[in-house]
Structure 1
Amino acid sequence: MECIVHFEVQYKQETKELRGLIFLDEGEKPTEKDFLLMFEGMGYKLRLTDPENLVFTPIVPSSEYQRIRIRRLDTGEESYQEDRELKSLISNLLPKDSRPI
């Protein structure tokens, strides 16, 4: 089974959104080792610093990038993922006090 990894690479001046690919057995979920091997194959030497938010930082201090964060995983199955930015935008646009028409 293929797992498309959507991630962002944060540089000093910009953030780039990229994708990677991990091959898994049916029903498996990617592990830290899977992510590190994928990134290593792309030329990134990293360590996992925030497992809850899947944030990786470079091992080499002189790296051009500051961190990499995995945004979502796509295994081809339907899944719900809350879009925090959209939710925040909508909550700011809707009136605070709701009253009947």
Structure 2
Amino acid sequence: MECIVHFEVHHPNEIKELRGLIFLKEGQVPSERDFLTMFEEMGYKLRLEDRDNLVFKPVEAGANYSKIRIRRLDTGVKSYKEDTELRSLLGNFLQGESRPI
């Protein structure tokens, strides 16, 4: 199974959004080692700084970026996330109860 990793590289003057690829067995989720190996193959030498937010910091002094943050993982499985703003808009446009004027 392929897992596309969407991440951002924080440079001093810009943030670049990039993608990487990890191959996993069916039903498996990427581990810290999987992420570090993927980044190393891309030329980034990192350590995991914040496990909850998937933030990695460079281990080499003089790196031209300050951190890398994983934004999302795409395994091809559809996931549902409710759009609360859309729901609010629809709620305002669709009349629920008839109210007398």
TM-score where L is the length of structure 2 = 0.80
Aligned to 2:52: 52
* In 1: Cα distance, 2:81 partner to 2:55 partner: 18
Aligned to 2:75: 75
Report the Cα offset of residue 42 of structure 1.
0.1
List alignment gaps of at least 5 residues for structure 2.
90-98
Supply the RMSD in Å over aligned alpha carbons. 2.0
* In 2: Cα distance, 1:82 partner to 1:32 partner: 29
The DSSP-based 3-state class of the residue aligned with 2:47 is strand
The DSSP-based 3-state class of the residue aligned with 1:40 is helix
Aligned to 2:95: none
* In 1: Cα distance, 2:7 partner to 2:82 partner: 16
| Structure label with greater radius of gyration | 2
Report the Cα offset of residue 82 of structure 1.
7.1
List alignment gaps of at least 5 residues for structure 1.
95-99
The DSSP-based 3-state class of the residue aligned with 2:4 is strand
* In 2: Cα distance, 1:60 partner to 1:17 partner: 21
1:63 correspondence with 2:89: no
CA deviation profile, 1:10-53 (whole Å, cap 9, x unmatched): 00000000000000000000000000000000000000000000
Report the Cα offset of residue 59 of structure 1.
0.1
Report the Cα offset of residue 81 of structure 1.
4.9
The DSSP-based 3-state class of the residue aligned with 2:66 is strand
* Percentage of matched positions with identical amino acids: 66
How many aligned positions are there?
88
- Please list every run of at least 4 consecutive aligned residues from structure 1 whose deviation after the TM superposition is greater than 4 angstroms: none
Distance 1:40 1:81, change over 3 A: farther
